[in-house]
Structure 1
Amino acid sequence: MAPRRRRRSPEESRAELLAAAAGLIRERGPDNVSLRQIAEAAGVAHGLVTHYFGTYAALVREVLRAENDRIEERIRERIRAEQGVPTAAGIMEVLFGTLADERYLRLFVWAEMHADYRGAARPELVELIDAIEAGIRKGEWVAPRAFTSLSMFGGGEIDLRDARFADHEIKVRVFALWGYAEVTVPDDVEVEVKGFGLFGGFDRSAVRRRRGAPRVVISGLALFGGVGTRARATRKVP
C-alpha cells in the first residue's frame, strides 16, 4: 500500500515543486528532467504539477524567475551593505559570483539556447542593475573623467551628445553581459574603442581622429553581448 501523501497548502506545494525542479535541473540538466520526475521528487501527484504550471516550459520559466529573484536579492544586499550605490568593483564581484554559480549559469545558458525561454530574465532585474550603475545616461549631464556602465540581460544607452565633459579626455568602461549597450558620441570629438569581446564584440563605427578635439576612450567587456558605438551631430538647443 502506497504511503499517504501529507496535505500541503497550495503555496507549500508550489514552492516544493519549484525547489524540486531547481534541484533536478542542477543535477541532471534541463534536457534530462521530466514533470513526472519533478512530481516524484516533491512527493506529489503528477497531475498537481500540470495543475500549477501546465507545461514543462512554464515550469522552467518559473524556476528562472525564482533564480533571478535570488540574484536580485544578492545585489540588494550589496547595496544595503554599502549604504548606497555599490562601486563598479562591488558590482563585478557580485557578477562573477553569479557566473561561478553553476545552478544559475547552467540554467540561464540553456534557456538562451532555446527560443521558447530566451529573454526570461525579469525586466525589474535589468532595470535595477542599469540604474545602480547608470546604465542609461541621456539628457543634460556632466560626463566625469572616467565612469562605468553595466548592462546585464538587457539593454543600456549612453548618450554623450548633451554631456558636458569634465576633462579633455573621458574614459567610458562598458560591460555588456548577455545584453547590448550603445554609446552615442558627438561627431566632433576624437574616439578610440578598445573593448574586448568574448563571444561578443565592440562595434568601432564611431572611431575617428580629430586632432585637438575632446577625446572619448571606450573600453570594457562584451560577454555573450555587444557594445555599439555611433557618432551623431550634437543636438541644437532651441
Structure 2
Amino acid sequence: MTEPKRDQVHEGALGERLNWLRAAVLGANDGIVSTAGLVVGVAGATDTRSALLTAGLAGLLAGSVSMAAGEYVSVSTQRDSERAALAHERRELRERPQAELEELAELLRRRGLSREVAHEAAVQLTERDALRAHARVELGIDPDALTNPWHAAWASFLAFTAGALLPLLAMVLPPADTRLAVTVVSVLAALALTGWSSARLGAAAPGRAILRTTAGGALAMGVTYAAGSALDVAGV
C-alpha cells in the first residue's frame, strides 16, 4: 500500500498530455480557419499581393496574441483556484487532522478498498505526505504539477501561428490566377488533418470530425469571399 495511487497519477499525467495535444490541435484549427477566412475574404475584393499579405499578417498576429492572452487568463484563474484549494486543505489538516484522516479513509473506501485497508492506507499516506494525499485523492490535484499559464499561453500562440501560416503562405506565394484554388485546397486538407487528429486523440471515429472541420472551414471561406466580392462590386 505504499503507492496506492500510482495508476491514478499515471492516468492523470496521460490525461494532461492529451489535453495539451488537443488544445494544440484546436489552436491550429482556429488559426487555419480564421486566417483563411480573412485572406479569402480580402481576395474576393482585391488580388493585390501586398493587401493580402498585410491582412493575413494582421490576422495572424491579432489572433495569436488574443489566443495567448485568453489562455493565460483562463489558466491563471485555474491555477489560483488550485492554490486556494491547497491552502484550504493545508489549513484543515492543521486544525482538524483526525477528521481529515477519517475523510481520506472514507474516500479510499469508496474507491473499492475495505474499511480496514482504507484506514491503513490513509494512515500511511498521511504519515508520508498528508497534503499530497488529500490533494490527489480528494481534490484531484497534483501539487507538483499545477497548471502553468505561461506554458498554456505559449502553446496557444505557437499553435495558432502554425495554423495561420498555411493559408497566409498559400495565398501570397502562388501566382494570382491560382492562389485562391491553392488556398482552398490547402486549407481543406489541413482541416481534414486536424479533424482526424482531434478524433484520434479523443478515441472517436474520424469521419464526423473531418466533416465538421472541413465544412466549417469551407463555410467560413465561402461567406468571407462572398462578402469581399460584394464589396468589390459595390466599389467599396
Interval of TM-score (by shorter of Structure 1 and Structure 2): under 0.3
The structure with the largest strand share of the pair is 1
TM-score using structure 2 length: 0.25
Larger radius of gyration: 2
Calculate the TM-score normalised by the size of structure 1: 0.25
